[in-house]
């Protein structure tokens, strides 16, 4: 998982600055998220203003309120909320409805959801869905929100996949299912297995798979990976393993935004003291479960590629792995690593 602020196409929709993983303070699934943000019963202490109950007036009112409360990206926050409440095709449509009137129910829902944003809830959780490439996926807290960089990882993999061959891949840490489902949609002969230690994440991946019609080609396991995969997968060999694992060093916790620290599953973020704890476990798994010439794709911290290359220079022959290349993300940072099974 990545350490970045919102950007490019995804940034046009994002109402929060998305940063990186942090160290977990819990070792089991967090309780189901219980928030008035979804029931529409959030209390409102909004002062009455002279702005009329139109889209334009409501948008201007909440931009000012968000700015006064130092909420990141105030305009994209309210635009996404209005688009969600009005059930528009996307936030870009809000501009076509500036003079439209809002009824009392719509105003009440907008204000309730804006209260959630004032509490620093990520906009993806507020509107309950988000685009990942050409998929619209359900988002629920505390499952980790896919970032724009991970879309680049998927594109990189698809460019090198042979879509005419049957491919079996494993995703470690599936979260919302964004990576697996994107690969399956664009590689019709592929099938996948996804694992995650979070029950909520596994259920969300399954729900998203059903919603996009790909559930028949994806098996999902709740499993906390240390050195082994689930017993059901003993002896299984994969053509590819992909992961956007926890990789943020623990020392970066204090610098993270409230949107991340309060709402996202902290277990999905902790990479240990050097950010490499889970990555090294994945390397061990890849050495055992990849077929010869199989490929491991990782999204990592920008400081990690040379460290991983040095590690495999020393231990790669024993593990049966070779570092092939690293690739830059849209911020021109080394973000993705390709490793091949000998």
Q: pLDDT class for 333, splitting at 50, 70, 90?
A: very high
pTM above 0.75, yes or no: yes
Q: pLDDT class for 45, splitting at 50, 70, 90?
A: very low
pLDDT digit string, tens, across residues 134-154: 999 999 999 999 999 999 999
- Of 8 and 256, more confident: 256
Q: pLDDT class for 226, splitting at 50, 70, 90?
A: confident
Strand partners, 283: none
Q: Which sequence spans correspond to the domains of the chain?
A: 55-127, 141-341
Q: How many residues would you count in the chain?
A: 342
Decide if pLDDT at 202 tops 50: yes
Domain 141-341 has CATH 3.40.50.150: yes
Decide if pLDDT at 9 tops 70: no
Of 263, 260, 303, 304, the residue nearest 282 (C-alpha)? 304
Averaged pLDDT, 19-39: 42
Averaged pLDDT, 94-103: 96
Averaged pLDDT, 184-211: 97
| CATH topology (fold) of 55-127 | Helicase, Ruva Protein; domain 3 (1.10.8)
Lowest mean pLDDT: which of 26-35, 154-163, 170-179? 26-35
Q: Which residues, including other chains, have CB under 8 Å from residue 323's CB and lie 6 or more apart?
A: 308, 309, 312, 313, 316, 337, 339
End-to-end Cα separation, the chain, in angstroms: 26
Q: What is the pLDDT of residue 256?
A: 79
pLDDT digit string, tens, across residues 263-318: 998 788 888 999 999 999 999 999 999 999 999 999 999 999 999 999 999 999 99
Q: 271 near 251, Cβ under 8 Å?
A: no
* Mean pLDDT across the chain: 87
Q: What is the pLDDT of residue 21?
A: 32
Q: pLDDT class for 50, splitting at 50, 70, 90?
A: low
Averaged pLDDT, 9-19: 36
Cβ neighbours, 10 Å, residue 189: 13
Q: What is the pLDDT of residue 289?
A: 97
Q: Which residues, including other chains, have CB under 8 Å from residue 269's CB and lie 6 or more apart?
A: 1, 20, 21, 22, 23, 24, 144, 246, 248, 260
How does DSSP classify residue 119?
T
Q: pLDDT class for 20, splitting at 50, 70, 90?
A: very low
Q: What percent of the chain has pLDDT over 90?
A: 76
Q: What is the pLDDT of residue 24?
A: 34
From residue 197, alpha-carbon distances to 140, 143, 168, 248 in Å are 16, 11, 21, 18
């Amino acid at each position: 998982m990545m350490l970045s602020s919102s950007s490019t196409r995804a940034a046009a929709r994002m109402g929060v600055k998305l940063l990186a993983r942090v160290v977990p303070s819990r070792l089991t699934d967090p309780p189901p998220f219980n928030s008035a943000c979804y029931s529409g019963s959030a209390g409102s202490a909004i002062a009455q203003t002279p702005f009329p109950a139109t889209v334009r007036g409501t948008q201007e009112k909440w931009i000012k309120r968000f700015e006064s409360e130092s909420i990141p990206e105030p305009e994209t926050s309210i635009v996404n909320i209005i688009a969600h409440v009005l059930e528009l095709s996307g936030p870009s449509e809000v501009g076509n409805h500036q003079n439209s009137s809002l009824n009392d129910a719509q105003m009440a829902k907008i204000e309730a959801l804006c209260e959630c944003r004032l509490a620093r809830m990520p906009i993806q959780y507020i509107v309950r869905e988000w685009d990942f490439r050409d998929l619209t996926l359900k988002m629920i807290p505390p499952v980790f929100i896919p970032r724009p960089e991970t879309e680049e990882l998927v594109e990189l993999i698809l460019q090198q996949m042979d879509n005419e061959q049957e491919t079996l891949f494993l995703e470690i840490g599936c979260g919302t299912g964004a990576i697996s489902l994107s690969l399956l949609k664009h590689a019709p002969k592929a099938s996948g297995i996804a694992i995650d230690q979070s029950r909520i994440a596994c259920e969300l991946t399954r729900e998203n798979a059903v919603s996009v019609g790909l559930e028949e080609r994806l098996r999902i396991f709740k499993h906390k990976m240390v050195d082994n995969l689930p017993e059901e997968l003993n002896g299984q060999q994969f053509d590819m393993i992909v992961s956007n694992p926890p990789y943020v060093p623990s020392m970066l916790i204090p610098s993270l935004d409230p949107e991340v620290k309060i709402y996202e599953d902290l277990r999905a973020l902790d990479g240990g003291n050097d950010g490499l704890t889970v990555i090294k476990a994945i390397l061990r798994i890849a050495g055992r479960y990849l077929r010869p010439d199989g490929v491991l794709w990782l999204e990592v911290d920008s400081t990690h590629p040379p460290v991983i290359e040095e590690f495999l220079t020393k231990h790669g022959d024993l593990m049966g792995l070779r570092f092939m290349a690293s690739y830059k993300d849209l911020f021109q940072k080394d973000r993705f690593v390709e490793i091949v099974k000998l």
